[in-house]
Chain A
Amino acid sequence: MNTLKTFAALAVGCGVIGFAGFFAFAQHGEQRTFPAIQADTSAPLQTRIERGRYVAATADCAACHTVPGHAPYAGGYKLETPFGVIKASNITQDKDTGIGTWSLAQFDKAVRHGIGRDGYLYPAMPYPAYAKLTDQDMADLWAYMQTIDPVKQTVVENDLPFPYNQRFLLAGWNLLFFQDQPFTPLPGVTPLVSRGDYLVNGPGHCAACHTGKNLLGGDVAQSLQGGTLQGWHAPDLTPNAHVGLGQWSSDDIVSYLKTGTNRLGVASGPMQEAVENSTQHLNDQDLQAIAAYLKQLPASTDQAAPAVASADAQMVTGKVVMESQCEACHRADGAGVRNMIPAFKGNALVNAKDPSSLLNVLLLGADGPVTAGNPTGAGMPRFDWKMPDDDLAALLTYVRNSWGNSAPAVSAQDVKKAREQLHAQAWLNQ
């Protein structure tokens, strides 16, 4: 159904411009040149490389361009988008299959402007955010990228079905959703908040997951108020006390980004990868900047709905499941254990309308984050084999509506659907 709608929307969008005209426009866009990068290259090369390594960490290039356990930046990581699978490209210095023959200008055109070797890039590559990178960061990043060992590996990036495999259509997407603008500081904020703004909306590309997407994969207007991608719900990052970061102090945010854990929460899924690959390598001042920026965002307007009543049949069953299966680690008061086992109580992810992340870790389990600051790696066991859909649904409803939490009930049907989508195992007693 979505595909049909999307196609219809695309067709209408294209029709407005006129197909031929659009095609010419797209062709023209691909051939564009951009102003040359103005950067200070007076520092010793090694210093610039180290700065570039840091920029690569802030931009989390490795998240997509490195397959865990394989050669760095050799590409091949699969991104599952609503439109199909896209594979990240090889960005090592290999001359045939990587970017070993590229110039800084070509690199800039791809990273900040979304036009690569084969034409328009898919916005799975977060060039709409990277567009905000400064010239200096781009130049340093390129100095670092040129030190990456060449790895010969051909990646077929585009395996999308028609019409999404037609890259020239992205010119239209860009027209609708891509503001190719450099970073502009917010007026009247401290330099710390401004740095945080740059990191969050520029290299950090937090919106890629934490901002909801429309039918065409463009950002919705409710920036950083939560989104769902690849079977995970990335929660609201605004200071909403119920579903956002309202209960986290700046230090909580810093601890979370530095170690993957804090007194309340533990990173899992794509955020765990982001912490391990990216944010743990950021210096404390930059992490404080991110916290300062997030704390000053206007809170989203989502209000807590009334909790499901404790006499509800799901709540009664859910309590028993909680007591028999969860309390050993998450504790009877839902408070978890600081820096290793997430609290249920007051947890934004637990209160989120969308239970995708909860279903994901409950069904499949999750290895814990391992960082230099906290190597514990306390993980979540999988429960797909252990319990039937209705018990798991009751548990989630109970957890989402106890200790002051409130969130929509989860149905057995929701669990069944998640089991299928996540290719989880069936309940053993089935």
Chain B
Amino acid sequence: MTYTRPKADAVIVGLGWAGSLMAEALTRAGLDVVCIERGPYETTNRNFSPNIAADELRYGARREALRPPSVETLTFRNHRSEVALPGRDFSNWVVGYSVGGAGKHWSANAWRFLPSDFTMATRVKERYPKMKLPEGLIVQDWGVTYDELEPHYDRWEKIAGISGKAGVLNGKVQPGGNPFEGSRSAEYPTPPLERSRWNDIFHGTTEKMGLHPFPIPAGTAGAAYTNPLGINMAPCTYCGFCGLYGCGNWSKSSPNACIIPALMTRKNFTLLTECTALKAEKAADGKTVTGVTFIDSDRNIGFQPADIVIFAAFQFDNVRLMLLSEVGKPYDPETRTGTIGRAYNFQTMSYGFLYFENEHMNPFISTGALATQVDDYNGDNFDHSDLGFIGGAGIMALSDQATPMGMTDRVPAGSKMWGADWKKAFSHSYQNYGKIQGQGTSYAHAESYLSLDPNYKDDNGQPLLRMTYEFNENDRRMARFIKGRIGDICKSTGAKTWETVAFPDQPFSPSRAYDSGHTIGGTAMGLDPATSALNRYQQSWDAHNLFVIGASSFPNNGGYNPTGTLSALTLWTAKAIINDYLRQPGLLTR
């Protein structure tokens, strides 16, 4: 059966952070909004309460909060000379599968990007006119600046109850915060988390080294808090069941805790759960879209007509929906033309794994974002003149590993991995382990892109998304540099042994443990329709009533988690729709 629903002012695909923030802004402005969400409706007390969620086997090992590959996966290859194969079991594609999307299970590192992250092309030209970037590297400005996004970062932080300590407030550096951050208009809404023992060691060590440690901004409330929508959050309990878990006690910032309760009270908001968007339909003139076709849980095909269509799905799904809707030109790596699927980027990780001798780290006191960081080597915070690469990494002591199964491989190199020797090593290192994470920037490359797979289809008969990705030379140089800095810190901590890793030293694989889940870009925003799918308002150059919001819009990734930035960009786009687009529908860059 097929059916058409009553027309809405706007239809939003996906109710994660981007979709729920957009729905909140548009419904508050009086628009009639319908949201199509693939996953089921869930509430904290019924679906991931503390007496359910604290289950490592279920959520940590079997990853029950995530979309299983049997429902949808993507195919992967490193190079376009290879045939991509579908991922059937993987580590780092962590897609949500309920209302709240990935915002339910995220590990709540709640960053703003650096001002330079948005304008690296201009920055390189001005600061490093002689720098020779690797062939094929894609460096382009976003078309939106940090200053333009600042009020929206601030609004998101207040909705989400982010905890932290300002480093630069109204242009003035503040003690205790990150001195490298873009200037903030307000302090964080909730105080920073208490430091773990491991955070303390790192803080003392890096301070002595002349670096600038600070508590990272965390979407885990530092105190009881009431957000601007009137919704309450409870203080974080450091329970350790954070990333990959829904938060049972309303402490972790999420669409579920912070936005959806208010949305559900609004009469002009309609939520269709367990409905999978198939594509947007193009109008006869080809210049606009008319709505979204979806398949519901009874396998009936529905059509939701709307004046405005907003893709707010996971990054992969946004790109795939654009390709399936045939809006814009798919990227062709042969000719290096086309924009949909182009500028795919990622997150370049480096690590230090440290083992002390007589510590009591008490790692069970943990959150997904319990970390102390130095930003001295992040982004363009340091001089790259003779380094041969751009970008850098936030280097943090991260106390996010609390649960025993996930720590069973945390023993010094050379330890036996079974039997009595392993048990002895594990019980010792449980209290003596520390992790330094270098979360690095990522720049896109002409040979890394997303496209529709020619061989594999999903349950609905639509082609799977194909990822063609390998680290590039800029990533390798940057990560090796960061690995060196992590090594310097490791040496100074007094750890007995440590090992350091730069991920780009090995080929990329979606199955590698400790790799990032931050899969970015593919429908980049920008100033030039030849190199970007979206304009500076995340509006499709090719269909002016279609907006695509999420990390899929980033032409490059900062040395940070993407959620704060994609949330700020969503509110920036919402403002443009409400203030400008509604008055005069058309390209906002006219």
Name the residue of chain A whose CB is nearest to the CB of B263.
A375
Q: Are A337 and B45 in contact (CB under 8 A)?
A: no
Q: Are A365 and B45 in contact (CB under 8 A)?
A: yes
Q: A246 to B124, alpha carbons, bound, how many Å?
A: 68
Name the residue of chain A whose CB is nearest to the CB of B237.
A328
Chain B residues with CB below 8 A from A328, complex form:
50, 237, 239, 248-249
Digitize A335-348: 1 where CB-to-B-CB distance is under 8 Å, 0 elsewhere: 00111110000000
Chain B residues with CB below 8 A from A339, complex form:
226, 232
Tell me how far the C-beta of A344 lies from the nearest C-beta in chain B, rounded to whole angstroms: 15
Which DSSP category, helix, strand, loop or mixed, fits chain B's interface?
Answer: loop
Q: Are A372 and B265 in contact (CB under 8 A)?
A: yes
Name the residue of chain B whose CB is nearest to the CB of A378.
B250
Q: A373 to B230, alpha carbons, bound, how many Å?
A: 7
Digitize B228-270: 1 where CB-to-A-CB distance is under 8 Å, 0 elsewhere: 0111101101010000000011100000000001101100000
Tell me how far the C-beta of B247 lies from the nearest C-beta in chain A, rounded to whole angstroms: 10
Chain A residues with CB below 8 A from B61, complex form:
none
CB within 8 Å of B: which A368-405 residues: 368, 370, 372-381, 383, 386
B431 sits at the interface (CB 8 A): no
Assuming the A-B contacts A338-B224, A339-B226, A379-B43, are A325 and B50 also in contact, with contact meaning beta carbons closer than 8 angstroms in the complex? yes
Chain A residues with CB below 8 A from B237, complex form:
327-328
Q: Are B45 and A381 in contact (CB under 8 A)?
A: yes
Q: Are B224 and A337 in contact (CB under 8 A)?
A: yes
Q: Are A381 and B250 in contact (CB under 8 A)?
A: no
B265 touches which of A368, A375, A378 (Cβ 8 Å): A375
A307 sits at the interface (CB 8 A): no
Q: Are B250 and A340 in contact (CB under 8 A)?
A: yes
Digitize B37-64: 1 where CB-to-A-CB distance is under 8 Å, 0 elsewhere: 0000001111001111000000000000
Q: A1 to B45, alpha carbons, bound, how many Å?
A: 39
Chain A residues with CB below 8 A from B224, complex form:
337-338
Tell me how far the C-beta of B59 lies from the nearest C-beta in chain A, rounded to whole angstroms: 16
Tell me how far the C-beta of A323 lies from the nearest C-beta in chain B, rounded to whole angstroms: 12
Q: Are A381 and B50 in contact (CB under 8 A)?
A: yes
A67 sits at the interface (CB 8 A): no
Assuming the A-B contacts A329-B50, A381-B45, are A375 and B262 also in contact, with contact meaning beta carbons closer than 8 angstroms in the complex? yes
Chain A residues with CB below 8 A from B262, complex form:
375
Q: Are B232 and A367 in contact (CB under 8 A)?
A: no
Tell me how far the C-beta of B191 lies from the nearest C-beta in chain A, rounded to whole angstroms: 16
Chain A residues with CB below 8 A from B234, complex form:
329, 337, 340-341, 378
Name the residue of chain B whose CB is nearest to the CB of A341.
B234
Chain B residues with CB below 8 A from A381, complex form:
45-46, 49-52, 248
Q: A108 to B46, alpha carbons, bound, how many Å?
A: 43
Q: A333 to B231, alpha carbons, bound, how many Å?
A: 23
Chain A residues with CB below 8 A from B49, complex form:
365, 381
A selection of 7 A-B contacts at a CB cut-off of 8 Å is A328-B249, A365-B45, A376-B231, A376-B261, A377-B261, A378-B250, A381-B248
Q: Which residues of A contact B (CB under 8 A)?
A: 261, 325, 327-329, 337-341, 365-368, 370, 372-381, 383, 386
19 A-B pairs besides A337-B234, A378-B44 with CB distance below 8 A are A325-B51, A328-B50, A337-B232, A339-B232, A365-B45, A365-B46, A367-B45, A367-B46, A368-B45, A374-B231, A374-B232, A375-B231, A375-B262, A376-B261, A379-B45, A379-B46, A380-B45, A381-B49, A386-B51
Q: Which residues of B contact A (CB under 8 A)?
A: 43-46, 49-52, 224, 226, 229-232, 234-235, 237, 239, 248-250, 261-262, 264-265
